[in-house]
Structure 1
């Protein structure tokens, strides 16, 4: 049985995501809510298994994050920006841990 190869993408503001291109990830610069939603939808439909999203862009699209959190693929993973973390990524990890084990372990 052959396993499917998924691609990895990084979505966010250009200055934050360009370094990821150097390690081989596909980068997709976005600025606004609608642009981010459309980009993530397109990536999900075209073989991307992991999509990293900067916290600043993720904060604009909570409904999109909620939708894809219920999907097996793609996995959406939040990244802090060069300006520091807003806490959004850590909050989502805590929520997922609580769902998995039934309580907050932090």
Structure 2
């Protein structure tokens, strides 16, 4: 079974520890290094707050197209930018071949 990590600012991620997930409060300056360490440590799912993910586009791009790790953006306390929802929507469209949110 793969481990699950959550990265972001402390206020956005501390509640995930109650769910049994490993939390890693980081600043944008240290986030890239921490991301690569989590991948090396065998984390299969890495949740990243949307604000932090915006700073890590080059770092997360290294893992696009790979099965693991699954890097998933989540909203933080600073709000939802919508990029997490767009990413999930894109992945679902690729998997099923159509826009599941499109309705007539």
For Structure 1 versus Structure 2, the TM-score category normalised by the shorter chain is 0.7 to 0.9
Match of 2:33 in 1: 38
- In the alignment, the residues of structure 2 paired with residue 61 and residue 80 of structure 1 have an alpha-carbon distance, to the nearest angstrom, of 15
Q: SS in structure 1 opposite 2:87? A: helix
CA 104–66 in structure 1, closer or farther in 2 if over 3 Å, else same: farther
User: How far is the alpha carbon of 1:51 from its aligned partner?
Assistant: 0.7
Length-normalised TM-score, structure 2: 0.85
Q: SS in structure 1 opposite 2:6? A: strand
Match of 1:89 in 2: 84
Match of 2:13 in 1: 17
- In the alignment, the residues of structure 2 paired with residue 66 and residue 102 of structure 1 have an alpha-carbon distance, to the nearest angstrom, of 22
Q: Which runs of 4+ in 1 moved over 4 A?
A: none
Length-normalised TM-score, structure 1: 0.83
User: How far is the alpha carbon of 1:97 from its aligned partner?
Assistant: 3.1
Counterpart mapping for 1:1-106 below 5 A: 5-32=1-28, 34-106=29-101
> Structure 1: any 5+ residue segments left out of the alignment?
none
Q: Report how many aligned residue pairs link the two structures.
A: 101
- In the alignment, the residues of structure 2 paired with residue 38 and residue 71 of structure 1 have an alpha-carbon distance, to the nearest angstrom, of 19
- Write out per-residue CA displacement over residues 5-63 of structure 1, whole angstroms, 9 at most, x where no aligned residue: 2111100001111111111111111111x411111100001121111100010011112
> Structure 2: any 5+ residue segments left out of the alignment?
none
